[in-house]
Structure 1
């Protein structure tokens, strides 16, 4: 059976992308391209080091987000990408992008959706909100992407405890460790066709 072709989108260091390279690439799926909206994203270097086509697409060259997304779709389709993984990608997907890859775009969010998610909840803002609210657990969520920010069907979640002396930085570190496990596990399951999606519900496919 041929490996599913994967395209990864990054905006920063790409530590989650590195875990996909380490645990998924050329084993369960083939990462054929990594794209970034940031020229200095270290994720592009990670891709080059792994022999993966690494592409910077400058959003400033495209006055509308829709046009920019169309260019990304064009690049992904040109590489034969079947599954798109957002690994720290900070731009919003347009409806046409989602239609091009229905239930085939995966994102990881540094909180337990539906808490601390949606518009304005990204990066360190999420962990600061966790502290401000006083919750005792937080975590990470892997989900499919739909038209609603952080609103797609949930694939996997894991929790970490919030200690009284935690800071946004210490929570980020704990959550990132969970992300590094969750994302490769979810992508592996998709590559092996182990999941089925029924509305909002994602379950393991019965054998």
Structure 2
């Protein structure tokens, strides 16, 4: 069974997709650890409700947050690290020592890179007049949204698509894509 740690800054909806798939035995994974850089992140409350150990790791709680994250990953014997809406760049050392996976709310390589997350991505997709968008689950390397693609799923944009409607569709598609990608890993 693979041990997967979660890094999340807010809600951690991707974490919930993995957690629920593991509970239903769709995935052979265990999630022993959740780390957030945000002390008011909802994912911390979810972790407590599910009985999963959680930690706040940021510049206020650790002299070197990246080192602390790496220590926790080793302590909890995690082979994988899933970024579920984590808003910080992961250190090169972590990328080299663990299999780091991210979900991006667009079809990479388009609409990726620094500053391209959440609503910013959907706004850019709509502004560009795209007819198709989707979700990309990829390996993480030292560059933003540049790692090897594991799985992409597409969806058609409606003629009158709004940022809100696209965001909802992408979040729903993301839940499915994340689980399917982990089945392929």
TM-score class, shorter:
over 0.9
Where do 4+ consecutive residues of structure 1 move more than 6 Å?
none
In structure 1, the gaps of 5 or more residues are 191-207
Q: Deviations over 1:73-101 (max 9, x none)?
A: 11111100011111111110121111121
Partner SS state of residue 24, structure 1: helix
Q: TM-score, normalised by structure 2?
A: 0.94
Deviation (angstroms), 1:60 = 3.0
The CA distance in 2 between the partners of 1:58 and 1:106, in whole Å, is: 20
How many residue pairs are counted as aligned between the two chains?
183
Q: TM-score, normalised by structure 1?
A: 0.84
Q: CA RMSD in A?
A: 1.4
The CA distance in 1 between the partners of 2:169 and 2:46, in whole Å, is: 22
From 60, 63, 76, the counterpart of 2:73: 76
Question: Match for residue 15 of structure 2?
Answer: 17
Question: Match for residue 163 of structure 2?
Answer: 168
From 159, 176, 183, the counterpart of 2:178: 183
Alignment check: 8 A CA contact 1:29 1:188 kept: no
Deviation (angstroms), 1:25 = 5.0
The CA distance in 1 between the partners of 2:165 and 2:130, in whole Å, is: 15
Deviation (angstroms), 1:188 = 2.8
CA spacing shift, 1:39–1:95, aligned 2, 3 Å: same
1:139 aligns with 2:134: yes
The CA distance in 1 between the partners of 2:164 and 2:59, in whole Å, is: 29
Deviation (angstroms), 1:61 = 4.0
